[in-house]
Amino acid sequence: MEFITHVDPVIFDNFVSLHPHSHYMKLSSWANHKRHTEGLIPHYIGLQEHHTLIATSLLLEKKTKDIHYFYCPWGLCTDYNSELVTRYFIQQIQKYITKQNADFLRIDFNVERRHHELSGNVIDDGFNNEFVTKLLIDEGFKHKGYGYAYNGSWVNRFTLVIDIDKPLPEIINHFEKRRKSKINHIGIQGLSTRLGTKDDLIYIALFEKQLSMQKGFKPKPLSYFENLVEDLEEQVVYYVTELNIKQYIQNIEDLLQTKKYKLDLKAASYKKEEKEQAQVWLNKYGEKVIVAAGLFMRLNTKCWDLYIYNNKNFPTIHSSDSLHMFAINDMKQHGVKEYDMVGFSGETNKSDPYYGLYEYKSSFGPRFVEYIGEFDFILNEKNYRSYFKKTNLLKRIKKKIYSILVKKKRTY
């Protein structure tokens, strides 16, 4: 085996795209995005045998006066079942970053740990990749552990993935009853979703800002999304959902004329209230209004739902459901098999502060996925500890300041 430190980016991307452990964050387009936005330097590392590439690793280098580290997003593209290849590749990467006088190397792996039921319970079917964790610890890595998702890790250890490699009716059949019911109301509510354009990016920034005012986090500027789309254009898919308010009102009027609502006076009363609210919207916003926006990444048979935000001025409209259904169908037409809903806390009990996110995503009948997590190979313990002490403190201060500013805005 030959260790290569300058794999051609085109060859690198072709290998990553077809690998079982592929991820858009392992591509040169993501590396270029991080270089443009954060000044990180990409290194395209690989292993070859008989002049054929058998493993790759994207390393992103950050070097300042305070810290020098390498980061490998979502791990290696290699056959982890081959201990010889995996161990050799890890050792060569360690030697490489040591020669660069780095303070540490961080790797987080998209290697699934164990199988789970949607409830979070472990399925005892013999599937277990904790041997990879052991191998890395044996090679001198510090493991963050199998803890809570939102514990300061750079990427989320848990996600929910919908299998869309089947007919659409079969996919919907796995949805929870309440989700099916809301999906059935998409047409009644006058919702439609389409592919978005760069001009539509303003909506995702706007709707994230609305959410940030509710949750107290700092929203990303429009330029963040514009840069992301520009740098990862081939992987980006953008959707927007529109509400036709006139159509919504007409649909309600038509329903009120049916036998069901003439007999069920209580249900008819609710529908009349919906019509009244829709009339207020029509007077305020006009006939049509954008009510949701979603930004996805697509790579061969996989896609990732990075951001979906809805217009908070329309809380009773099932806009996110409309967007998801359109996206699932569109992704299927492009050969996607795994629809990754990207991240949740890993907890499935109602006491978890992020339970609402899990409750919504789990209603689509996805698969509960747990990865093995985050590993650090530390070369300079002093600089390593000092760096994270400073960055963690700075994050807390910024979060606190922004939370205070949001509270002040709410009072005005």
Distances (CA, A) of 293 to 187, 201, 240, 286, 320: 18, 8, 4, 19, 8
- Non-local CB neighbours of 4 within 8 Å, separated by 6+ positions: 45, 46, 47, 48
Residue 361 included in any domain: no
Q: What local confidence, expressed as pLDDT, does residue 394 receive? A: 80
Specify whether the CB–CB gap between 238 and 201 falls below 8 A: yes
Tens-digit pLDDT profile for residues 154-195: 999 999 999 999 999 999 999 999 999 999 889 899 999 999
Q: What is the mean pLDDT of residues 350-363?
A: 96
- What is the structure's pLDDT at 217? 86
Whether residues 89 and 234 share a domain: the answer is no
> Residue 280: inside a domain, yes or no?
no
Backbone angles phi, psi at 195, to 5 degrees: -70, 135
* Residue 404 pLDDT: 63
**Does residue 348 fall inside a structural domain?**
no
| Per-residue model confidence (pLDDT) at position 410 | 54
CA 408 to each of CA 89, 211, 216: distance values in angstroms, whole numbers, following the listed order: 52, 16, 11
* 356 close to 128: Cβ distance less than 8 angstroms: no
- Is 355 a member of any domain? no
Tell me: do 92 and 136 sit in the same domain: yes
127-158 residue pLDDT tens? 999 999 999 999 999 999 999 999 999 999 99
pLDDT at 237: 97
Compute the average pLDDT of residues 278-287.
97
- CA dist 378 and 246 (Å) reads 61
Q: What is the pLDDT of residue 355?
A: 96
104 and 233 part of one domain: no
- Say if 350 falls within a structural domain: no
Tell me the pLDDT tens digit for each residue of 309-327.
999 999 999 999 999 999 9
Judgement on whether residues 145 and 189 belong to the same structural domain of the protein: no
Q: What is the CATH number of the domain that holds 77?
A: 3.40.630.30
Q: What percent of the chain has pLDDT over 90?
A: 90
pLDDT of residue 405: 60
Contacts of 132 (CB under 8 A, 6+ apart): 80, 86, 109, 111, 372
Query: Same domain for 18 and 146?
Result: yes
Q: What is the mean pLDDT of residues 362-389?
A: 97
Same domain assignment for residues 84 and 208: no
Amino acid at 171: I
The CB-side HSE value for 197 (13 A sphere, CA atoms) comes to 1
Split at pLDDT 50, 70, 90, the class of 392 is confident
| Confidence grade of residue 407 (pLDDT, cut at 50, 70, 90) | low
**Predicted pLDDT of residue 403:** 64
In the structure encoding, which two tokens stand for residue 8, read together?
């051609």
Q: What's the whole-number average pLDDT of the chain? A: 94
Residues 214 and 302 grouped into a single domain: yes
The candidate with the shortest Cα–Cα distance to 148, out of 377, 355, 344, 394, is 344
* pLDDT tens digits, 218-239: 899 999 999 999 999 999 999 9
Task: Give residue-wise pLDDT tens across range 240-274.
Answer: 999 999 999 999 999 999 998 888 989 999 999 99
Is the residue at 252 inside a domain? Answer: no
Q: Is the residue at 170 inside a domain? A: yes
| Structural domain includes residue 177 | yes
Tens digits of per-residue pLDDT, 86-120? 999 999 999 999 999 999 999 999 999 999 999 99
For residues 256 and 270, the answer to whether their CB atoms sit within 8 Å is no
54-68 residue pLDDT tens:
999 999 999 999 999
Domain extent, residue 179, equals 165-243+285-336
Question: Is the predicted pLDDT of residue 10 greater than 60, yes or no?
Answer: yes
**Are 147 and 173 contained in the same domain?**
no
How far apart (Å, rounded) are the C-alpha atoms in residues 350 and 197? Answer: 38
- Structural domain tally of the chain? 2
pTM of the model: 0.93
The answer on 176 and 139 residing in a single domain is no
Name the pLDDT band for 393 (thresholds 50, 70, 90).
confident
Shared domain for 112 and 228, answered yes or no, is no
Asked if 114 and 175 sit in the same domain, the reply is no
Q: Could you tell me if 373 and 153 are in contact, meaning their C-beta atoms sit under 8 angstroms apart?
A: yes
Average pLDDT for 384-389: 94
> 177 and 145 share a domain?
no
Q: What is the pLDDT of residue 406?
A: 57
Return the pLDDT at 412: 52
Pairwise CA distance, residues 78 & 22, whole Å: 10
Q: How confident is the model at residue 125 (pLDDT cuts 50, 70, 90)?
A: very high
